Structure 1
Amino acid sequence: MSTAHFQQLYEQADDPWQVRQRWYEQRKRSLLLASLPAPRYRHIFEPACGNGELTAALSERADRITASDVSPAAVALTRRRITTVNARQVATVEVQCQHLPGEWPSEQFDLIVISEMAYYLPPADLPLLLERCLRTLAPGGAVVLCHWRRPFADRLLDTDAIHAAFNASPALHRIVNHQEADFLLDVWSNNPHSVAQHEGISP
């Protein structure tokens, strides 16, 4: 999808997918947050941040967040949304305008959250997306993918195929797999231990 398409969407409405109002979106966001394997993260990367609703929620569990979107209007909305969070959290968030996966940042992240983004990519970009995640994932870090499963006009990649490509990587170990008719939520880590194993509950 072109930058102009998303720019137009966010210029016409500050919440084009109603991620604030819809219970579906609120519940999905809560499930994603509950699926994170650690209570807090040093540095989170959130590509395709949209209007910043998930960014704001993640900021409560991060020392630092790098968020980005292809649309300058979405970047402005995320920056505005972050100002409604407390002052300490505002200082942790940097929002950039980037065309991903090509303009992927070079830093190391211990959490990468890709939500409702990868199905817009042309098929040739899926291996690059995976490579960028693997290259910038810190030791013990986690990658989250969450995507709508049903057909829609702008889709270029199938959700199940996207998640299957990540699951096939020998460098990643799936620690969460949540499937519904509407969406798919997966979490992988480059550390094979479960949350219970990290806490010494399970051998």
Structure 2
Amino acid sequence: MKKESLEPDYFEEIYAKSDDPWGFASREYELHKYFDTLMHLPRKHYASAFEPGCSIGVLSGMLAPRVDRLLSVDVSEKALAQARRRNADKPTITFRNMQFPRHKPEQTFDLILLSEVAYYWGDTEFDQARDQVLTLLEPGGDLVLVHWTPFVDDYPLTGDEVHDRFIRFSQHTSTLQHLEGKREATYRLDVFRKA
């Protein structure tokens, strides 16, 4: 059975009930995962980065010192309003309302970070997102995936399905190289580089 993506209304309803529904700014799990993500970036600094699904901008703010220009996007205007307030002192971050991969940026990046976002895509949009990531990622650029691995009934894909699909793709193409992967109790992290 073909899986369909979650629509923007799903997220607006969640943010209508809570400013931080997943505890991005308060849960120890999230902070540990963010520091782990930053520690596994292959380079100390990047010229330009793309972060789809930035939510309230906690990871965006932590990533900003490592990037000259950061484009962070989300489908929820309520979440973006928080992200802009939280990062008002960081002029290198641009927050934009965008439903990636249905819409995509015009520029290219040397880092793309898919953190807790790709399991919201159904089968068709997942393939579209993967292809767009490869187009948007500059040669030699890095792709970092980080996702919650326990099953969530609402989500079209699991974190493991997301990562396994990217790994299988990298095994059948010379375009994307799998650099490293690790698994924690409740999340998985994989790093790729475009040839």
Pick from 160, 175, 178: which aligns with 2:179? 175
Partner of 1:196 in structure 2? none
> Comparing both chains, which one has the higher relative contact order based on Cα–Cα distances under 8 Å and sequence gaps of 6 or more?
2
Letter of the 2:125 counterpart: D
Aligned partners of 1:96, 1:131: CA distance in 2, in Å? 21
Aligned partners of 2:31, 2:163: CA distance in 1, in Å? 22
Of Structure 1 and Structure 2, the greater strand share is in 2
State the shift of 1:26 in Å: 0.6
State the shift of 1:172 in Å: 1.1
Aligned partners of 2:177, 2:52: CA distance in 1, in Å? 21
Farther off after superposition, 26-35 or 100-109: 100-109
The answer to whether residue 60 in structure 2 is matched with residue 55 in structure 1 is: yes
Aligned partners of 2:136, 2:189: CA distance in 1, in Å? 21
State the shift of 1:11 in Å: 2.9
Partner of 2:72 in structure 1? 67
Aligned partners of 1:174, 1:148: CA distance in 2, in Å? 19
State the shift of 1:181 in Å: 3.2
State the shift of 1:161 in Å: 2.1
The answer to whether residue 175 in structure 2 is matched with residue 190 in structure 1 is: no
Aligned partners of 2:106, 2:127: CA distance in 1, in Å? 17
Aligned partners of 1:37, 1:176: CA distance in 2, in Å? 10
Alignment of 1:1-203 (within 5 A): 1-83=6-88, 85=89, 90-167=90-167, 168-169=169-170, 170=173, 171-191=175-195
- Give CA deviations for 1:39-88 in whole Å, capped at 9, x if unaligned: 111001000000000000010111000010011111111111111x4xxx
Q: Between the two proteins, what is the percent identity of the paired residues?
A: 35
State the shift of 1:155 in Å: 1.2
- Give CA deviations for 1:112-137 in whole Å, capped at 9, x if unaligned: 00111111111111111110100010
Aligned partners of 1:30, 1:141: CA distance in 2, in Å? 21
State the shift of 1:146 in Å: 0.6
Larger Rg: 1
Aligned partners of 1:56, 1:135: CA distance in 2, in Å? 25
State the shift of 1:164 in Å: 1.9
* TM-score normalized with structure 1 length: 0.88
The 8 Å contact of residues 152 and 158 in structure 2, kept in 1 or not, is answered as no
Flag as ranges the 4+ runs of structure 1 deviating above 6 A. none
What SS does the corresponding residue of 1:42 show, helix, strand or coil? strand
Farther off after superposition, 44-53 or 118-127: 118-127
CA RMSD of aligned residues (A): 1.2
State the shift of 1:153 in Å: 2.0
- Give CA deviations for 1:21-52 in whole Å, capped at 9, x if unaligned: 11111101110000000011100100000000
State the shift of 1:158 in Å: 2.5
* TM-score normalized with structure 2 length: 0.91
Unaligned runs of 5+ in 2: 1-5
Partner of 2:3 in structure 1? none
What SS does the corresponding residue of 1:153 show, helix, strand or coil? coil
